Chain A
Amino acid sequence: METLLAALLGILLSAVFGAISDRLPGRWRRLAPAGLVVSSLLGLLPVLKTLLQGEISAFRLPWGVPGGSFSLLLDPLSAFFLLFVLGLSSLAATYAVEYLEAGRTGFFWFFFGVLTVSMSMVTLARNAVLFLVAWEIMTLASFFLVTFEDEHLPVRRAGWFYLAASHVGTAFLLLLFVLLGRGTPVLDFDLFSFPAAETLEAGVLFALALVGFGVKAGFVPLHIWLPEAHPAAPSPVSALMSGVLIKMGIYGLVRVLGFWSVPSVAWGKILILVGLSSGILGVLFALAQHDLKRLLAYHSVENIGIIALGLGLGVLGKSLNQPLLAVWGMGGGLLHVANHAMFKSVLFLGAGAVARTTGTRDMDRLGGLLRKMPWTGGCFLVGAAAITGIPPLNGFVSEFLIFCGAFHGLKAGGLPALFSYSVVMGLGLIGGLAAACFAKAFGAVFLGEPRNGAEHAAREAGPLMRWPMGILAAVCVLVGLFPGVVVEALSPLLRQVSGLSPADFSPIKETMTGTLEVVSRIAFVFLAGVLGLWGFAAWRARRGAVAKSVTWDCGFAAPSPRMQYSASSFAQPFTDFFRGVLRTRFPPTVLRDLFPTESALHTKTPDVFHEELYRPLFGRLKETLLHGRRLQHGRLQLYVLYIVATLVALLVWSRG
């Protein structure tokens, strides 16, 4: 624990150094990110030790804040999330060194470091006050990072959006912890008293946690800040936010659910419903987007949905006392947390590299980048294949675990069986739609011919941007090829979240790793097949004649890049079929004269929840609250009167 705290202190010092580094000569400026990376890597040592060996270490200092104590604990669950906080921070920081234009970057590094430390504290804190303080700092630091390029109006708007949404979430968390800590003077987690899971009171607590953490995680319909904030943020920040920050919501939810050894069946069902709606709606909205980073943001919603499906099955298993269901479901959900952190970061970093060199994120304007940017494109392809959940990559492994969890649920009979059945179906639909969506994204951006002139200037990213992407893509492949090893390594975590005794847990783990071993062997058979067939075709190609030609366009004489199928046309069957949900807007195109000349079509798919739910709601709210403005009139003497009146009222209340 001391090493970890020293590492966090190192990150903080680097952050402070970063804040003043703008005045230093060029080479010194790199010290801030370098310190950040080195400290993060140092911090990974104790984290890995806890994660792999299940060793728990605590740290406690007195703290003068009422109800607060500086109480920290590193257990496998914290270590699991810390692994990604520290690991991804260091990769994103490396990437950001090259990504950020030379200029005033000190501000960026300060908040980047603060964000890393605050996320670490969120996972470590075992006191509600400390947790909420860390949570709030995390929100503020990420707000400043989102609005880093605040010279653009949309970025500022997105920042406010994010800030407002986050604070609505925090309000629920505040209430949650106040309710949990009613009996104790110090709001330490282990002093909390919990009502039995099936009571109404526990249900209220669960609902508060679901909404409060759900805003951060991005459950539908609380997700609306994601598609705004992710595209606005600089790409390394989007990667960090999507990879880890939103997972803090999942962390909080898992932590709170862990307070009950036997949770309520209803919670599992609710989580499954939330997961289904987030997963399916997330991917549908992703399909309709034109902006690459906005598309990725909606995919975060989708993947959070998949994670919720896993957790929901796990909760069902725990409450029904079905250890198989609990371990497979929870395991799948948590492994998906890890996998999503990896492939989504690689995708955001790749999208950043594309946007940086071409100056656009509009997929309908890109194309043919794979030949210019083979590294970025290759890594993006691995990430895209991984996120669609196809073997032999990591996304498949976690979805496989959730599927298998659902089979155990199918055997339970009754309503749990029906819920598990809907998980299987929903996950299948999500997988199919995600594959289509990433075929569209990768195909439109990297394949075919450039759709406008911008790509001619496109250049491959430099080494500092390439390596983080390469490392993440390699991890995606390795986890996919050796899933048994990964599950074995995570067994302390799985045992902790499933709440089983070692004797009950180890046979389940054995079957799990055994099954995954077979999966991995088949993956190798597949790879051998690919190598063999590729080799044969390449050999034939070398011996036989290979003619280079233009793409066959069915006899058409003058094909042009503008005739290619665009991203929007690829997605058209989907947007059309699901138009009831998506409500894509087609402004009417007016054709004039008998021989119409130029014409244009712009479609837009705004978020339905934003348009139909929040905009009217907040509009109404604003109207109502505007009346309150009469209280704020700028007359000083009346303000003094308010203060006196409040004091008198408080005095009367405390005396009486």
Chain B
Amino acid sequence: MADGSMTNVFLAAVLSPLLLGVINRTKAFFAGRKGVPLGQAYYDAAKLLRKGMVLSRTTTPVFWLGPVAGLAAMTSALLFVPLGGLPAAVSFPGDWILLAGLLALARFLTVLSALDTGSSFEGMGASREAFFASLTEPVFLSALAALSLKGGASSLNDLCAFASTLFAENLPAAVLVAAALFIVYLTENARLPVDDPNTHLELTMIHEVMVLDHSGPLFGYVVYGTAVKLWIFGSIVVSVCPLFRAASAPFGVLVALAGLLAVAVLTGVVESVMARLRLLRVPLLIAGAGVSAVVGAILLTGVGR
């Protein structure tokens, strides 16, 4: 079963906060600002881990469970996520179901820890997060299932390898599925146009508002977990894209990292050129991604050919 290396795990552990820096820098470039240092997320996380905590009297241990289990779920998910041409450390049929399961686990507990504070703002964020996520999950699964329709592959490694060959064989289907995956990436990571990570108004926040009450090491986990999650979805997008796949180890790592960098820059560009969608419009965007995945799937089954 273990046919890959731990490279992706180590890379993600060390480099994932850098992605946040790259996105921020890109946005700063578009806004004509200088921007925060590239390593800001590292400083934030390190500082938070050393700080004390403020806990609400309303909270219970469930409040701890959100950040703790969230980060633990993301790091264990790294074990079976490939990066470009580099296979994942562990690979087995149906591992992407486990990935979806771990994401759902992290989200469920984050939502609960938000509700644990009894704050109406956090409740609002939790409700929106749960709503969007419940629509995103089938889209994510159907995009990946579309890929295994044709290739018959059932692990994330094989799926990504198959998907990258698809661009040459069946371009429309590949583009549709990749587009769906990219929208899932934006939604899951609370980026624009779904959620604005920079907003300062609690009423409009989704993801940020759920962790308003977390502080100190727990909030450090949240920051770091966000970065790892971004890395995971970035890795999937990169692995699907044939441009960034190279098999040989040292070169493959570099190409894949370049891919991740490109995804981060692209995210920054999207965030710079787009406004946020109205909350009521977001379900339409996600549903659109779903339609795109399903159409991709239909093209792949060869119905009507």
Binding site for B on A (CB under 8 A): 367-368, 370-371, 381, 385, 388-391, 396, 399-400, 403-404, 406-407, 410-411, 413-414, 417-418, 421, 424-429, 431-433, 435-436, 438-440, 442-444, 447-449, 511, 514-515, 518-519, 522, 525-527, 529-530, 532-534, 536-537, 540-541, 544-554, 559, 561, 563-565, 569-574, 577
B84 within 8 A of partner (CB): no
Nearest to A414 among chain B residues (CB) is: B301
Tell me which residues across on chain A come within 8 A of B73, comparing CB atoms. 526, 529
Give the docked Cα–Cα distance between A67 and B303 (Å).
52
Give the docked Cα–Cα distance between A399 and B141 (Å).
13
Distance in Å from the Cβ of B77 to the closest Cβ of chain A? Answer: 8
**Are A552 and B56 touching (Cβ within 8 A)?**
yes
Tell me which residues across on chain A come within 8 A of B148, comparing CB atoms. 407, 410-411
User: Provided the pairs A551-B213, A565-B120 are in contact, do residues A389 and B145 lie with their beta carbons within 8 angstroms?
Assistant: no
Chain B interface mostly:
helix
**Are A537 and B64 touching (Cβ within 8 A)?**
yes
Q: Which of B24-32, B161-169, B215-223 contacts A (4 or more CB under 8 A)?
A: B215-223
B283 within 8 A of partner (CB): yes
Point out the residue from A429, A435, A439 that lies within 8 Å of B115, measured CB to CB. A439
**Are B134 and A432 touching (Cβ within 8 A)?**
yes
Tell me which residues across on chain A come within 8 A of B95, comparing CB atoms. 518
User: Provided the pairs A404-B94, A551-B117, A570-B126 are in contact, do residues A425 and B216 lie with their beta carbons within 8 angstroms?
Assistant: no
Tell me which residues across on chain A come within 8 A of B94, comparing CB atoms. 400, 403-404, 407, 515
**Are A428 and B138 touching (Cβ within 8 A)?**
yes
B277 within 8 A of partner (CB): no
Query: What are 18 pairs between A and B in contact, CB < 8 Å?
Result: A368-B118, A391-B98, A425-B142, A435-B130, A436-B111, A443-B112, A532-B72, A533-B67, A537-B67, A540-B50, A541-B216, A544-B52, A546-B53, A548-B54, A550-B58, A551-B213, A561-B118, A564-B118
Interface string of B104-146 (1 = CB under 8 A from A): 1101100110011111111110111011011111111110011
Point out the residue from B62, B72, B118 that lies within 8 Å of A530, measured CB to CB. B72
Nearest to A537 among chain B residues (CB) is: B217
Nearest to B124 among chain A residues (CB) is: A565
B177 within 8 A of partner (CB): no
Nearest to B218 among chain A residues (CB) is: A537
The B202-239 residues at the A interface (CB cut-off 8 A) are 202, 212-213, 216-218, 221
Tell me which residues across on chain B come within 8 A of A447, comparing CB atoms. 60, 62, 112, 115-116, 118
User: Provided the pairs A390-B101, A390-B108 are in contact, do residues A573 and B62 lie with their beta carbons within 8 angstroms?
Assistant: no
Other A-B contacts than A407-B148, A553-B120, 18 sampled, CB-CB below 8 A, are A388-B108, A399-B97, A424-B145, A425-B294, A428-B138, A429-B138, A432-B135, A443-B126, A447-B60, A529-B73, A530-B72, A534-B64, A544-B50, A548-B55, A548-B57, A551-B56, A564-B120, A570-B115
Tell me which residues across on chain B come within 8 A of A407, comparing CB atoms. 93-94, 145, 148, 154
Distance in Å from the Cβ of B87 to the closest Cβ of chain A? Answer: 15
Distance in Å from the Cβ of A426 to the closest Cβ of chain B? Answer: 7
Give the docked Cα–Cα distance between A484 and B47 (Å).
42
User: Provided the pairs A390-B101, A540-B49, A548-B55 are in contact, do residues A385 and B108 lie with their beta carbons within 8 angstroms?
Assistant: yes
**Are B301 and A413 touching (Cβ within 8 A)?**
yes
Distance in Å from the Cβ of A478 to the closest Cβ of chain B? Answer: 18
Tell me which residues across on chain B come within 8 A of A404, comparing CB atoms. 93-94, 97, 154
B102 within 8 A of partner (CB): yes
User: Provided the pairs A443-B126, A447-B62, A537-B68 are in contact, do residues A435 and B133 lie with their beta carbons within 8 angstroms?
Assistant: yes
Give the docked Cα–Cα distance between A261 and B132 (Å).
43
Nearest to B128 among chain A residues (CB) is: A573
Give the docked Cα–Cα distance between A529 and B6 (Å).
16
B76 within 8 A of partner (CB): yes
B149 within 8 A of partner (CB): yes
Tell me which residues across on chain B come within 8 A of A400, comparing CB atoms. 94, 97-98, 101
Tell me which residues across on chain A come within 8 A of B217, comparing CB atoms. 536-537, 540-541
Give the docked Cα–Cα distance between A406 and B60 (Å).
39
**Are B58 and A368 touching (Cβ within 8 A)?**
yes
B5 within 8 A of partner (CB): no
Tell me which residues across on chain A come within 8 A of B145, comparing CB atoms. 406-407, 410, 421, 424-425
B265 within 8 A of partner (CB): no
Give the docked Cα–Cα distance between A563 and B112 (Å).
18
Tell me which residues across on chain A come within 8 A of B72, comparing CB atoms. 526-527, 529-530, 532-533
**Are A439 and B130 touching (Cβ within 8 A)?**
yes
Distance in Å from the Cβ of B226 to the closest Cβ of chain A? Answer: 15
Give the docked Cα–Cα distance between A381 and B116 (Å).
13
**Are A439 and B297 touching (Cβ within 8 A)?**
no
Tell me which residues across on chain A come within 8 A of B121, comparing CB atoms. 553-554
Tell me which residues across on chain B come within 8 A of A448, comparing CB atoms. 58, 115-118, 123
Distance in Å from the Cβ of B170 to the closest Cβ of chain A? Answer: 16
Point out the residue from A370, A421, A546 that lies within 8 Å of B142, measured CB to CB. A421
Point out the residue from B58, B218, B290 that lies within 8 Å of A551, measured CB to CB. B58
B272 within 8 A of partner (CB): no
Point out the residue from B49, B101, B136 that lies within 8 Å of A391, measured CB to CB. B101
Give the docked Cα–Cα distance between A367 and B67 (Å).
22
**Are A545 and B52 touching (Cβ within 8 A)?**
yes
Point out the residue from A367, A525, A570 that lies within 8 Å of B79, measured CB to CB. A525
B269 within 8 A of partner (CB): no
Nearest to B96 among chain A residues (CB) is: A403
